[in-house]
Chains A and B, each alone.
Chain A
Amino acid sequence: MTSITQLFQFDFLINAFQAGVLLALIAPIIGMFLVVRRYSLLADALAHVSLLGVALALLFQIPVFIGALCASILAALGMERLRIEGRVLGESIIALFLSSSLALSVVILSATTGLNANLLSYLFGSLTTVSTGDVTILAVLAAVIVAFFGFFYRQLFLFALDEDLARVSGVRVRMVSNGFIILAAATVAAALQIVGTLLIGALMVVPVLTAMQWQRGFRMTLFLSVIFSLLSVLTGFVLAYALDLASGGMIVIVAVALFVCAYIANRFFPKLAG
């Protein structure tokens, strides 16, 4: 097994480590509000739409992140619009966007670059390809997300609790909701290269589910989610490097293992969960 200290001898690994930590901080913050609003699959749908953005970016030869970001934000706003109109059921909206964007991206990619190994890195993530620019984008995004959630925390909590109650309490629901969903879309687009389309949803949702097994209040659950997310990313990152395995998959496997342990603890030793 390779020594852990060797991890930080290469710039690309330092970039990967920094990107992983930043993503571990912001993914569960977004995920927490998705889970409690029963909208967990939104992250998966946005990830698949981001893949369409990647395909379009490769087709029109623009930066991949810009393509993924634009596609993800437009789709997020479109889904929110359909949800508010109420003519299509919430889960069906997600299925509609998820399957149609995946179909479109596969068709576009096969017609242009071909379904090559490059696509696999977007599907499953590759920490080794993270650049300094990617880390900067994630750092800016993390600062915006922390500021947004700090400033609108109570509005977001109430919005998650009950949308009508939020409106009657004077929350500008449309603004808060759009702000949240744009940041969710940006996080998915930024995470695409790190954990991949197929795994970003898990990184947003699984640490939150693990934290919820502890049966605490909202703030404490949010805090625990970030801790479990960091633990998953750091452990998964080290294991992937040491065992020469796919980083995205390893991170999510660790996150799921933590969930299984928390679930068993909660189920069979409920006093541990308080």
Chain B
Amino acid sequence: MPSLEHPIIETEHISFFYGKEEVLHDISFAIPRGDYIGLVGSNGSGKTTLLRILLGLTKPATGSVQLFGTPIGNFRQWQKIGYVPQNVFRGDMNFPATVQEVVESGHLGARGGSLCQFGKGVCAEVRRALERADIAHLIGKRIGELSGGERQRVFIARALVSEPELLILDEPTTGIDAATEEKFYAFLGELNRAGLTIILVSHDLEAITREVKTVLCLNRRLVCYGKPESLRSAEVLHQMYGTEKQVLHHEHPHSNL
């Protein structure tokens, strides 16, 4: 059961403007350890901006963010956070990097970055992360040779290699077929059951309702923060999308990885 005693992320009264346009208004919430959060909202709802603020990539106009109890400006333990961005490698398949090199780069926060700091110990950890993501057989492949689903798993292995306490994924299933997507969600569920806190940004309301423990619904302001069943409320959906929208619910038996 997630505990709010020591929240992993705590935000207070965050707001943000693009020019004079307010994109985030007075956002406050606390994410407990062990939770599995679905961050949802329409295009332009401020999801990406909020994510960037939580990761320290963008400074809010007002308000504060604490990561693991530390104000984000002073936060240095980046190895505690695994981040899987949305668009890495979608543009350039010729980038000369192997799966092993990409996953190794996830060790930066914990070990520093010089060539000599990467010995046999790290190789074992890289292999372990690849095995967790079920892609150990891809270790020597070039990243550009992989399918969208395989590439996504490489970046998850990269995020897992430093044994993080929080995993943040930005639209991870974009461009992935339905079968791979189902396996992918099952994998995230396993990670969460093993104690990893997860924040998942997605457009897919049906998957979010089915998979996560808590939803954080955004439409430039916090529409709701609670159980995924909230997404079945017509009022919540109306506040998020401004139109009548319905979330269909199907039970999906997860395949084992």
Which residues of A are at the interface with B, using a C-beta cutoff of 8 A? 36, 38, 150-158, 161-162, 164-165, 167-171, 211-212, 215-221
List A contacts of B114 (CB < 8 A). Answer: 150-154
- Which of the residues B76, B88, B100, B107 comes within 8 Å of A217, measured between beta carbons? B100
Query: With contacts A153-B114, A168-B55 known, is A161 near B88, CB below 8 A?
Result: yes
C-alpha gap A226/B229 in the complex (Å): 58
Query: With contacts A150-B114, A155-B108, A169-B106 known, is A212 near B96, CB below 8 A?
Result: yes
Contact B96 A216 (CB under 8 A): yes
List B contacts of A154 (CB < 8 A). Answer: 104-105, 107-108, 112-115, 117-118
Contact with A along B103-127 (1 / 0, CB 8 A): 0111111001111111000000000
Closest to A167 in B: B57
Query: With contacts A161-B105, A164-B57, A170-B78 known, is A155 near B113, CB below 8 A?
Result: yes
User: How many B residues, CB 8 Å from partner?
Assistant: 34
Contact B92 A38 (CB under 8 A): yes
- B18 contacts chain A at the CB level, 8 A cutoff: no
C-alpha gap A162/B94 in the complex (Å): 14
Distance (whole angstroms) from the CB of A159 to the closest CB of chain B? 10
Contact A168 B56 (CB under 8 A): yes
Contact A158 B116 (CB under 8 A): no
List B contacts of A157 (CB < 8 A). Answer: 97, 101, 105
Which residues of B are at the interface with A, using a C-beta cutoff of 8 A? 52, 55-57, 76, 78-79, 81, 83, 85, 88, 92, 94-98, 100-102, 104-109, 112-118, 142
Q: Which 8 A-B pairs have the closest CB atoms?
A: A154-B113, A170-B78, A217-B98, A221-B96, A155-B113, A170-B109, A168-B83, A169-B108
What are 25 of the A-B contact pairs (CB < 8 Å)? A36-B95, A150-B116, A151-B114, A154-B115, A156-B113, A157-B101, A157-B105, A161-B97, A165-B83, A165-B85, A165-B88, A167-B56, A167-B57, A168-B57, A168-B78, A168-B83, A169-B78, A169-B83, A170-B78, A170-B108, A212-B96, A215-B142, A217-B96, A217-B98, A217-B101
- Which of the residues A38, A153, A161 comes within 8 Å of B115, measured between beta carbons? A153
Main secondary structure on B side of the interface with A: mixed
| Sample of 14 further A-B pairs with CB below 8 A, known A154-B114, A157-B97 | A36-B96, A150-B114, A154-B104, A154-B108, A158-B108, A161-B102, A161-B105, A164-B85, A168-B56, A168-B83, A169-B83, A216-B142, A217-B98, A219-B101
Closest to B112 in A: A154
C-alpha gap A155/B95 in the complex (Å): 16
Contact B76 A212 (CB under 8 A): no
Closest to A222 in B: B96
List A contacts of B94 (CB < 8 A). Answer: 212
Most chain A Cβ neighbours within 10 Å, of B76, B83, B117: B83
List A contacts of B85 (CB < 8 A). Answer: 162, 164-165
Distance (whole angstroms) from the CB of B68 to the closest CB of chain A? 14
- Which of the residues A158, A161, A167 comes within 8 Å of B95, measured between beta carbons? A161
C-alpha gap A84/B100 in the complex (Å): 30
C-alpha gap A170/B76 in the complex (Å): 7
Distance (whole angstroms) from the CB of B109 to the closest CB of chain A? 4
Closest to B144 in A: A215
Closest to A152 in B: B113
Contact B96 A171 (CB under 8 A): no
Contact A171 B88 (CB under 8 A): no
Distance (whole angstroms) from the CB of B7 to the closest CB of chain A? 19
C-alpha gap A219/B115 in the complex (Å): 10
Closest to A224 in B: B96
Contact B102 A171 (CB under 8 A): no
Closest to A151 in B: B114
Closest to A219 in B: B101
Closest to A153 in B: B115
